[in-house]
Every structure is written in structure tokens, then in C-alpha cells.
Structure 1
Amino acid sequence: MSSFGSFQKFSEGTLSSHDQVARALGAQIINGVYPPGSKIPGEAEILQRFGVSRTVLREVLKTLTAKGLIVSKTRVGTKVLDPSHWNLFDADVLSWKMSQGLDEAFHGDLTEIRLALEPRAAALAARRRDPAAIKELRDAIEAMRNATESRRHFAEADLFFHKAIGAASGNVLLRSIAAVIETALVASFTMTSPIHDADLHEHNVHSHELIVDAIEAGDEEGAAEAMRRVIKTLAHWRAQAD
């Protein structure tokens, strides 16, 4: 199901020089190698370590600055900012954090933000009842139902489904939380997946199908509640896997 896209790639072999350096430094900042208030290595050290040009390094520093991880000041150097400045809605920042492992508190944060936003997105999708969006959601359900051999294929279809809900809401800001959804699903499906239990697999697919049924029926509260159940079930699976 390549049309459903793919999860973020964490293999450095697929990344550009800029992305490799940004990911390495970003992950080290997030992991506390360079704690808030400290300086990251100087230009000469980074250039020697990664073997990149000054142009690439300047772009990397711009990227990390834009994501709220660092700030550069004349005669002071480049310092790491407090986590309160980090843009955790940014797909790269989330993937760097995930590469270091997600603690229980952050898992809880992911679930809470999903519960705050995705049920509303489902309700808005039910209000709009766009036929093309409903067809996309039905296609995603079918892909989930057919994904009985590959954990990745199931997860890709599941991700497509949730991103399609955001798009179907008609709200551009709700659509932009796709990075948060992806991180939550990646984190959960690296530990557990329903595909190896036929009953659990069918239950999961059916619970997603209920969301689409409610959207198609124009049942805003029903769609929201069905979405809440799906998110809470995923959180429960993850907690059991810990």
C-alpha cells in the first residue's frame, strides 16, 4: 500500500549531509548530552567530526535554531535552549526525541494531546461528510483489514487513516498535528501490534470502522466518541507492553 505513504525514516543512510548532522546534534541536545544553557561544540570540532562544509553547517545551525533547540549570540557562542522553547510539534524534533526512547510521561502527553484534538477532528469530519474523504477512510480500513502479515503495512494504513481524519475535518491546524499522530503510532507499534492476534486485529479494524460509520451518518458525537475509544485502546496496549 505505497499510496498510504510511510513512516519517518530513521536510518541515517537515507539522509542528506545536512539532515545527518542536524539529526545527530538535535538528538544529542534532546538526550541531554548538551544540556540547556550549555554550548554545543565549536565550528572546527563539528566540521572535523562530520566532514561537512561550512555552508552545510550554517544551514544545520539555522535549522536547529528554527526548531527552538539553540540560539547563537555574538561573543557568547551557540547555546542550548530550555526544553520549553523546543518545537515538539515539529516532525524532526519528535523523531529525534523518539530515537532516544520515550518515557512514560511523554507517552501520556501524546495520548492527552490526541484525545484533545482527534475526536474534534472526527466530529468536524462528520459535520462535513465529504464523499471523497469517506472513500479514502474506507480504503484505509480495507488496507488495515488486509494487513495480516506485516506490522509495518498495518501501521502505515492506520497512520493514513488518522491523517485522513485530520484532512477530512477541513481544519488546516488539525491537519497539521500529523507529526504527533505519527510519533504516537510509531512508538506504539514498535512494541505491540494487533496483527498477530486475529480477534484483536478484527476488533481494532472494526473500532476504526465505527468512526467512519459515524462520519458518514453525520453523527458528530458518535464519531468523536469512537475516536476516543480507539486512542484509549492504543494507550492501553502500549501500557500492557511496558
Structure 2
Amino acid sequence: MTSQPPQRRKSSHNRIVQELGTQIVSGHFKPEQTLPLESTLCEQYQVSRSVLREATRVLGAKGLVYSKPRVGTVVRPRAKWHLLDPDVLAWLMQSTPHSEFFNTLAGVRKILEPEIAAMAASTATDKDIALIEAAYEGMAGAQTHEQLLQADLDFHRAIAEATHNDLLAYMCNMLSLPLRESIAITNRRPDIQALSLPRHKAILTAIKNRDALGARHASLVQLDDTRVALDAVMNVLTPL
């Protein structure tokens, strides 16, 4: 097979990663199942073995597959997947019913966000608080759903960064994609600003007052409201 130009090679590589990754995460290829032979995949995608192997190495780095001597490329168990990898998260969101995925996300948020808010109330500097407040003002002044969405994301990111815990901030950043999708859905609720702003203001006020207990409680209240909003919007989108 003749060598491909760099741009086509990169495009072919990305296509293989996206398609095989989606098929693995969606369950088309089951854990411990062997992917089709290299020769079959090369023919299917019209690529060289080197391009295919580059793509499978990327999938391996994401925890989705491993190479087994004399067997081939094998799908790893779900527990081995790097679920915070942006691509894996995106494929998971695409292939999982929204209600199921957001239930999982809600559980993670309920563990992380109240404790992050409580920690921020103790560790935030004046500059951190100013950034959180600026994000809140952005929410209050938003004229479009996209502006409201971005300001809301900025609000949560600023609180995470105010903990001055790099690992927590990193984890929150890795969850920004599903969080964006979740907020985009809750923002479809009528009068979203009037309903949502007081909840966020309570978190901001508690952090400004260095009230860790109050920040934790305000975050829990906001997450409960998010759950109600998600249920209401999802019921409209997927009526019985």
C-alpha cells in the first residue's frame, strides 16, 4: 500500500480512533472481545498497518484495549477504561441514555461539589472570591443561553480553583464536558435565571463569609434544584 499524505494519514487515524472508540464504549465490541484482524480493519478503513497501529495505540492509552500475543487487540473491561479522558467521556455521553448518564454525573457532583465549596470557603483568597463573584455577575447579566452556560461553568471552575488543590481542580476540569451538557439541558427550564441565581448567590455568599458549613449546604440545595430541573426538562424531551 502506498504511503499517505500527512493530512490524510492524520484524518484516517482520527476516524479510526473515533469509530472504534465509539463502538467499544457503546458495547458493540464487548470486554475481552478481540477486534477484527488488522488486515480486515486496514481494508475497511483503506489505511496502512502503521496508521491502524497508531490508532490502536491511542485507544490503548485511553484504557480501552490491550495487545495480546497471538490473539490481537482485545477490549479491556469497563473498569479499566480512563473514564475522565475527554474522548471516552464524549463517547460515553453519546452512547448512554441521557437519564442514565446524568444520574451517574449527579452522584459524582453530589460528592464533590459540596465539599469543594466548603473547602473554598476556608481557602479562597480575595482574588479567588472576586473571580467567583465575577462569574456570578456574568450569570446575572447573561442575555443568551450560551452566555448563561459559560458563566455558570466559570462559576464552578472558579470555586474549584479557589480550593488551591490542584487534583480537585483537575478533576473538575475533566468533568467540564458532561457538566456543560447537563447545564445546557437545565437551562431550557423556563425562568432559569430567576430560579437558579438565588441558589448560586447563596454559595457565593457563604464562601465570602468564610462559612464552610453554609457553603456545603448551599451547594447541596443547588444540586437538588439541578436534579429537579433535569427531571422536568428530560420528561418534556422524552415524554411517556
The answer for the alignment partner of 1:173 in structure 2 is 167
The answer for the alignment partner of 2:154 in structure 1 is 160
TM-score normalized by structure 1? 0.82
CA contact (8 A) 2:62 2:88 kept: yes
Percent identity at matched positions? Answer: 33
The answer for the alignment partner of 2:179 in structure 1 is 184
Partner of 1:41, secondary structure, is coil
Alpha-carbon distance between aligned partners in 2 of 1:16 and 1:174, rounded to the nearest angstrom: 34
TM-score normalized by structure 2? 0.83
CA RMSD of aligned residues (A): 2.2
CA contact (8 A) 2:124 2:163 kept: no
Instruction: Return the match for 1:236 from 212, 224, 228.
Output: 228
Correspondence 1:142 to 2:134:
no
The answer for the alignment partner of 1:62 in structure 2 is 57
What are the ranges of 5 or more consecutive residues in structure 2 without an aligned counterpart? 1-9, 235-240
Alpha-carbon distance between aligned partners in 2 of 1:226 and 1:132, rounded to the nearest angstrom: 21
Change (3 A) 1:16 1:211: farther
Alpha-carbon distance between aligned partners in 1 of 2:47 and 2:119, rounded to the nearest angstrom: 47
CA contact (8 A) 1:159 1:182 kept: no
Correspondence 1:92 to 2:87:
yes
User: Quick check: which has more Rg, 1 or 2?
Assistant: 2
Instruction: Return the match for 1:23 from 18, 22, 26.
Output: 18
Partner of 2:63, secondary structure, is coil
- Number of aligned positions between the proteins: 224
Alpha-carbon distance between aligned partners in 2 of 1:59 and 1:168, rounded to the nearest angstrom: 39
Specify the code of the residue in structure 1 equivalent to 2:190.
D
State the structure with bigger RCO (CA 8 A, min sep 6), 1 or 2: 1
The answer for the alignment partner of 2:193 in structure 1 is 201
Shift of 1:51: 4.6
* 1:7-36 deviations in Å (ceiling 9; x for gaps): xxxxxxxx9654443222111111111111
Partner of 1:176, secondary structure, is helix
